[in-house]
Chain A
Amino acid sequence: MTERVNRFVLCTSGDSVKVYSTRTEEWLHSLQGHTNQVTGIALNRANHLQVYSCSADGTVKLWDFIDGILIKTFIIGYPLFAIYVSEKHDGIVFLHIAMDTDSKNECFQLVAVHLPKSAEQEVEAKELSAVSSRISPNPSCTAFGREGQYIAFARHLQLNVYFFRKQKTYSFSLKATDKKGAKNAFTCIACHPADDCIATGHEDGKIRLWRNFIHTKEYTYSTQHWHHNAVNTLCFTPEGTNLLSGGIESVLVQWQYGAGNRKEFLPRLGGSILHVSTSSDGQLFCTSHSDNKITVIESSFKVCGVIQGLVKGDAVLTDLMIDPRSKALVLNGKPGHLQFYSLMRDKHLYNLDIVQQEYIYEAGLDQFEVVKAAFDINGYWLATVEERGQKSSDLEFVLKLWAYDERTQSFVLNTTITAAHTDRIISMCFSSSEETTMLVTTAEDGQFKAWCQGADADTQQDQSFWSCEFVGSYHNLKPTNCSFSADSSLLAVNFQEVITIWSPDTWELLTTLCQPPGVVRDLCFGRLSCSKYLIATTTRNLLCCWNLLTCALEWSTSVEVSKLQPDPLSENVAAFSYQSKHTDLFVFKPSEPRPLFTHKNMCSEKIHRAVFVPREEPLNNCDESSQWLNRSQLYFLTQNMDLLTFSTATEEDRMLSSSKRLVIDDSVAVTPFYLLLGKHRQQQQKLNTPSHPAADKPQQPQGSVTITELLHTPAHVLPAASVLCSMLVSSLLISNTGVRKDPLREMESSEQEMNSEKEEEHSEEEMEACDSQQELRAQGSVDEVTPKLSKAQERELKRIRKTDFSWMTGLIDSKP
């Protein structure tokens, strides 16, 4: 759900509301405070710098979204599913709540809540009055009419209009289908801001404009049809001249109001459009898409900004991978694309178009999807497999090899192999040696093939293409996994129960390893000092480790392993085990009998994808339990498409200590994809902090409270620079004259100061939660720079801050 003012876009994301700038497309801050999914936001009509948000935790919160300050919390007590406000009903919000406890029926109720005006921060609002109980669960099926005179809501085939003045509900219903097979169920509603007109979107893509509904019998409607699938969202521009609509086609359609069929299109915006909203002056439109993206559009119908998070597809078919060059996380992105996502900066880098075909946004159409991808060790080659027709019998798949182009800094298609195998490719891997790159693919046709890059002597071209070098099979069994040893001198391919070891130089079958119970599910070689070990997991809950020098089974344990992931930079191997409905993590070295790290009951879903992300600089962590995270970080993806990670205690501290706007490493930042991560991290924090001594806190931002406060206060609420200037300069001057004698003594004194400051703050009744947070955070650094005299000034500054500068905002808004 998005809501926007001229300069800011607000969107709900998990348990917070995020504020983005429309000009720079940057994330400014998030409004955090809800404890459950935020289900709706609505601007406060009385004060357009404030926003209401409602959440499934049963509260409505009022925020100042420019500063990111929580103003009030209204406790309703029921899970809320949507919020609406109208300018006519001041102090009243309309909410969707579930009817009774019978959640199976999905009965929802629209209630009006009178928000009590009290000075307290937390208010219980119990004055509920039901408006209607015939409400669709879809929040876009309810809308306020002209000047808040009526409210229109639809459910299934019935449109209801409730007039506040008459206190009456008129309902209009449509037939379920007609002769042409139309599906008439309502999907969304928008009301014209100045005219008595209701626009409704329908499941078959029709848009109906209802008029004259004040008289039940004489109502009329006109139908317009462009969308070929359900209309997801409708929105009138503030003047009511245009109607915007969007659906699964990913085309934003602008209908001219009252001009019949005249319309404009903005195609190929991204995933299917979920919401459209307009700014209050009608200059900007904003669409949110199913692939975790917000598009900002000018009123001249041009895209002027894109806010993109980690692209969320239906499923991650490829493994999680790390691009060895950019250290970006690579996985399925937009349909037919691979996305490169920087975990360090928590930013979407780019999408690599693999399929290179026009994507048709149509439900139920079988299109090419990237199902496998692999990087070679230098990041110079990328191999991808795209597949189409998984459901039908004729499977089409293409193996593509991409070379990295230094000039354009991206991957360029080198070779396309259309019929690499006669059946589906199951797995592929690159050799890990630096000198020669070789790709091995295994397929369901019982063969594995080795592909090599080689110049074709006959064509005499400069470019060298990939061609098949060797085709291997073993007793017509189906190969599933393949893996190269660390030095690429051995290739292990498993054929159901049998693991075969080949020499890639001579293509000689060196040996076979056989472990009767169960088909081998996962296979990997040990690294570094453990490179003589081969580890495999079977479907019969066995984790086996062979010593390749003796070709004998070194050890095996009975554990159900769903994913085996070796760390490329160390000997460690991570194994995710799924037992009795929760996942455990074991990190072990193949040479040691005891696991390095175990984490029981990590999450409740099965884990199929995981990756070790190498750190930019290794940590010096002495703590034994987290030593395995020193060189790389483990990321994993659950079945619910949540991307989680493990982090150490020191990192947590650094994250906490750094200013909230600089929290880069905080993966919770952008997307709902990362939603659970936040909670998880909190858990971890609890888990990790007890073992961690508070002594090795990293360096904290320096600077006096005054300065930090000055810097953190939004510019438009600050007094004029001339007022502040002299104060600032004087504070700086004094700080320089501050005596520094004994650091120890100063430490002590500063601690005392801290305590005293705390007390002061409490006494001052600092209302703004985030301010106090900042204070706390800044205290660590108070020691050196805190000037004695500045305290008075500090207070003065606070006072200045607290004085009401809302008149200024009026000025600011009136200017443009």
Chain B
Amino acid sequence: MASFKPTKVPFLPKLGEKVTEETLYWKNYKSPVQIKEFGAITKIDFSPLPPHNYAVTASTRIHIYGPHSQEPIRSFTRFRDTAYGGRFRGDGKLLVAGSEEGLIRLFDISGRVALRQFKGHTKAVHMTSFLSDGFRVVSGSDDLSCRVWDVPSAVELSSLTEHTDYIRALAPSKLNPDLFVTGSYDHTVKVFDMRSGSSVMTMQHGHPVECVLLYPSEALLVSTGGRYVKVWDLLKGGQELVSLKNHHKTVTCACLSSVGNKLLTGSLDRHVKVYNSSYKVVHNFDCDASILSMAIAPDDEALAVGMTNGVLSVRHRRHKKDKETLTSRRRRGPSYQVFVKGKNFVPRQDDFLVSKPVKQYLRKYDKQLKSFEVSKALDTALQTWTRTSKPDVTVAVIIELKRRGTLKNALAGRNEERCFCLLFFRHIFDPRFSRPLLMVGDIVLDLYQQVFHQSPVVERLLQRLMEVLGREAELQQELLQVLGILDTLFTSLTPRKEVKFWIGSCRNTDQNVKACFFQSMAR
């Protein structure tokens, strides 16, 4: 005797992005904390030392925030004009920042007044940084020069004027104190060596360079500018490794995660994209405004994004501890012991074993289907929670009823309230469910045609359904038009001399393109 076979809920392909380990990792951030600054945030830098405070440069001040603080724990406000590029030294004790008036200031983290001021640039200094020995500061300015300063004596050590446009990107080498990389609006990225006093390598980015970034191994260099992100292999003499075009506006900033060296780029198109090691986009963060700056804390604990509207948005990583507090709030179920009670008992040799039949647990709708209570089963499947969060279950029950030939019986004889939930079922345009649901709609209309006008609620719902259907029909028509255009394009593209079977395969790709179009349109 076979047991009852429960309704098979089909495994449907999930629309949208695919879930991988990486997306799960990057999804594991809490919702962002928003902090309002006075102006556009041009630079964010994390302190290399724990507790990993971060300096945020915005307008005429630099604020230092603690890892979880909403208020700045320290702020440097002695700027006469806009401050730029506040960055920590390797030991996290000193901070250097440029400014609009061309002055570079050096602060002690605990102090308030600038320890040193480096004068010499004639135009705004957008980028400043310590070299890795910690005794020298390098700066890139709009006066086309790149200067190196001595910290103890506050004198200019050298000035390099090889760029022909504003210098807006700078990255010092961590392994060699004499090396640093600059990127400029003249579309070039240059590697300077202080020992020779000139550039040792020049790479053509092709667009004004907004940001340069060195991998920890310093074999790879990332430059962003225009819509492009390019990765260069320095060991191969600056050969272009890969060119990525995933943003549709200028890419303004890039940073590397400390776990697995994943590349993150932020752009004016309000997206932060995360790439995996083979430079495929694995995750995407959406922001409210164009992104100007971005930094990620060591261990990926927090991701700070600065935007043009002066909002700093900080995402903290979610930990297991947080989850536990969540679950503890929930009602405690029976303990593990209850479930395993007696299960792990090993019978002795002379014990007589009486096997107990395994009880088949059925869902409520399955129990009702088993006893042929079709209307009740449909009601169970149409419960609000099921139909909103698990529409596939509802649709599976509807299909099962149709297979049994009792769908009409199940739909008939409902009162206003129960009819209401039928019409409220709004997955009718989901291509995965539309077929059975349209069929249900047909049957409902057939059955209740006479009595619809008696209930204002149902009538309103019907009107809404009609509106939505009209909209969908319009959309479909537009899609068909696009399809027609595409068809003509593809036929004109297909060379005539090809053999017939090639057209077959081509048509296949054609269909794929159409499918992609549909998906993007549907979204």
Contact = CB atoms under 8 A, between A and B. Distances in A.
B174 to A, nearest CB: 33
A367 B403 contact: yes
Contact of A358 (B4, B21, B508): B4
Interface residues of A, number: 33
Contact of A268 (B3, B10, B18, B405): B3
B501 interface: yes
Contact of B20 (A268, A362, A459, A473): A459
Contacts of B341: none
Contacts of B20: 458-460
What does DSSP make chain B's interface, helix, strand, loop or mixed? loop
B10 A418 contact: yes
Interface residues of B, number: 26
B2 A268 contact: yes
B499 A357 contact: no
B362 to A, nearest CB: 11
A475 interface: yes
A471 interface: yes
A149 B500 CA distance: 84
Contact of B501 (A268, A295, A365, A472): A472
B453 interface: no
Interface in B327-382: 369-370
B5 A358 contact: yes
Contacts of A269: 1
Interface string A473-484: 111000000000
A508 B500 CA distance: 10
A85 to B, nearest CB: 32
A508 B498 CA distance: 12
A356 B5 contact: yes
Interface string B1-30: 111111110110000001011000000000
Contact of B504 (A356, A360, A365, A472): A472
Contacts of B5: 353, 356-358
A266 interface: yes
Contacts of A509: 499-501
Given A357-B403, A360-B404, A460-B21, A508 B501 contact: yes
A470 interface: yes
Nearest to B501: A509
A155 interface: no
Contacts of B500: 474-475, 509
B507 interface: yes
A303 interface: yes
Contacts of A471: 504-505, 507-508
Interface centre among A303, A472, A475 (most CB of B within 10 A): A472
B1 A357 contact: no
Contacts of B505: 470-471, 507
Contacts of B404: 360, 365
B257 to A, nearest CB: 19
A268 B4 contact: yes
A416 interface: yes
B402 to A, nearest CB: 10
Nearest to A509: B501
A502 B3 CA distance: 47
A388 interface: yes
Contacts of A356: 5, 8
A295 B405 CA distance: 29
B2 A473 contact: no
Nearest to B369: A358
A460 B504 CA distance: 30
B405 A365 contact: yes
A513 to B, nearest CB: 16
Interface string A687-725: 000000000000000000000000000000000000000
A388 B504 contact: no
Contacts of A295: 1
Contacts of B21: 460
Nearest to B17: A458
Given A416-B11, A471-B504, A471-B505, 13 more contacts: A267-B1, A268-B1, A268-B3, A269-B1, A358-B4, A388-B403, A458-B18, A471-B507, A472-B501, A473-B504, A475-B500, A502-B501, A507-B501
29 contacts: A267-B1, A268-B2, A268-B4, A295-B1, A303-B1, A356-B8, A357-B7, A357-B403, A358-B6, A358-B369, A358-B370, A360-B404, A362-B405, A367-B403, A368-B403, A416-B10, A416-B11, A447-B504, A459-B20, A460-B20, A460-B21, A470-B508, A471-B504, A471-B505, A474-B500, A508-B501, A509-B499, A509-B500, A509-B501
Interface of A: 266-269, 295, 303, 353, 356-358, 360, 362, 365-368, 388, 416, 418, 447, 458-460, 470-475, 502, 507-509
